[in-house]
Structure 1
């Protein structure tokens, strides 16, 4: 693996405490002298980002800190699935629902997962209202629309982004935090879409994904860490996609309706949790 220069510091900078921390964490490294500077090297860019983040927080060393994937190569896909049980389980559940609903074609199953109950009569679909649906004890409907997907592309894109964002949060803040955020963003995005469009058929993880995106974005701004450092351009691309969808161009081209209110609701909820979580993490530091 190619060595990467993590830090270039003046010779008078005392690195002994930080080097001791790296040794205790069994992080492979070496220090060299070049052009009057001391240079810290580690194998691979992924580990380098984590070590830079570690130094920004603990330049003198800290016995309590832990570095994810401190030694050795990056985890394989199977290992990541095993170490991110909720992310993997959520994707498995989503795939199962996709199979049962035939990717949006099996309305007999979809009607039990949609936000409100409905019935199909001839060429028309008749929806119930939320109050009467909840009055019958069907509270699961507040969350289950996030599991419904319409088409293979819809499923593939949402699954990809949940894996990309969910595993970061599960690694950094834990399984229970990711579960709480997923349920919160699912609830908020579903309620936002129902409030905006009224009784209708909608579904997908997109609202949750925008919540996870907003959470990682603002958390990272307040408490920088390697886990939440998204690839360049991802945030701009996702926000640009949101704005394009809001123009109504896809409905105009008859590609289907987009649940824009769910996206916006999820994003606002994620920004709120990101601000709170990032502020608490920064205060603890």
Structure 2
């Protein structure tokens, strides 16, 4: 935002930022949140939005007060689930699909052949025979560009990816809205799958880690270009994730994990996420 008419509002320190951001996005109000030692400040590009924002803040505070009065009553599981689904439908759907993919790989391996990047057949000696990629797509099985990200090959695999998906994905979905977030996930998933195939050649691979690195790259670049409280990760996370990426690239993990690591998906996913972050972070900042 560079409009000299931009105005700044000071927000209560304990305001529910998730609810505020969802409300601002639904009202199509152009804004920028800044958190510093003095508190939380909301910049508005259009001063005429001030009254609507003030009413939104009052509504959020009334809801918070009502929840505080009812705090002695634990909300039913169904109510909590619906609340999460209404705020994070794409993230939760992705988590469910990853869990289903894990179960398919574990208990229905022949069914998993419908969701791998390349089709395959299982031989009598339990070996895998991959069919040429051209044959797979000659049958118009284009869903295979996406579906390998939901296949996971063990408990460590799904726990690692599921936790990071929840940590990164919910932040991005709340900030961008479910539609833009779905586009980011889809683009990163397809790109990381294609990248892994080009990196390693014909092979079986799967997992959400390429998308996880895409979300990491998105958060890092967008928060550099357009800082936002939702994108402020603990300082150790980025070095940890990049360190893990480098360890995998040098082949250290291959000695401990059967089948190796999808390094191509990690690298390509990271750069695709950074590209999305750079594009999304082009919004103008408020004037001083």
TM-score range, shorter chain: 0.7 to 0.9
Structure 2: stretches of 5+ with no match in the other structure:
1-6, 19-32, 69-74
| CA distance in structure 2 between the aligned counterparts of 1:56 and 1:150, rounded to whole angstroms | 44
| CA distance in structure 2 between the aligned counterparts of 1:56 and 1:232, rounded to whole angstroms | 24
| CA distance in structure 1 between the aligned counterparts of 2:251 and 2:178, rounded to whole angstroms | 36
2:66 aligned with 1:80 = no
2:77 aligned with 1:91 = no
**Aligned 1:150-161 pairs, distance under 5 A:** 150-161=153-164
| CA distance in structure 2 between the aligned counterparts of 1:94 and 1:208, rounded to whole angstroms | 12
Contact kept in structure 1, 2:34 and 2:228, CA below 8 Å: no
| CA distance in structure 2 between the aligned counterparts of 1:219 and 1:106, rounded to whole angstroms | 40
- Structure number with the bigger relative contact order (C-alpha 8 A, sep ≥ 6) is 2
Distance 1:230 1:201, change over 3 A: same
- Structure 1 or 2, whichever has the larger Rg, is 1
Q: Which residue of the partner structure matches residue 225 of structure 1?
A: 228
Work out which of the residue numbers 253, 260, 265 in structure 2 matches 1:262: 265
Q: Which residue of the partner structure matches residue 55 of structure 1?
A: 41
Contact kept in structure 2, 1:222 and 1:282, CA below 8 Å: no
1:237: how far off?
Answer: 0.6
Contact kept in structure 1, 2:45 and 2:286, CA below 8 Å: no
Contact kept in structure 2, 1:207 and 1:267, CA below 8 Å: yes
2:188 aligned with 1:185 = yes
TM-score (normalizing by structure 2):
0.75
| CA distance in structure 2 between the aligned counterparts of 1:172 and 1:266, rounded to whole angstroms | 20
Secondary structure class of the residue paired with 2:204: coil
Q: Which residue of the partner structure matches residue 165 of structure 1?
A: 168
Secondary structure class of the residue paired with 1:227: helix
Q: Which residue of the partner structure matches residue 114 of structure 2?
A: 112
Q: What CA deviation, in whole Å up to 9, does each residue of 1:121-162 have, x standing for no partner? A: 124211112221101111110100000000011111111111
1:254: how far off?
Answer: 5.0
1:81: how far off?
Answer: 3.9
1:96: how far off?
Answer: 2.1
Contact kept in structure 2, 1:158 and 1:206, CA below 8 Å: yes
1:70: how far off?
Answer: 5.4
Q: Which residue of the partner structure matches residue 199 of structure 2?
A: 196
Structure 1: stretches of 5+ with no match in the other structure:
1-16, 30-41
Q: What CA deviation, in whole Å up to 9, does each residue of 1:90-117 have, x standing for no partner? A: 1112222222332xx5320111110000
| CA distance in structure 2 between the aligned counterparts of 1:157 and 1:149, rounded to whole angstroms | 10
1:253: how far off?
Answer: 3.6
| CA distance in structure 1 between the aligned counterparts of 2:227 and 2:102, rounded to whole angstroms | 36
1:252: how far off?
Answer: 2.7
2:127 aligned with 1:124 = yes
Q: How many residues were matched structurally?
A: 244
Q: Which residue of the partner structure matches residue 247 of structure 1?
A: 250
Distance 1:45 1:239, change over 3 A: farther
Distance 1:262 1:99, change over 3 A: same
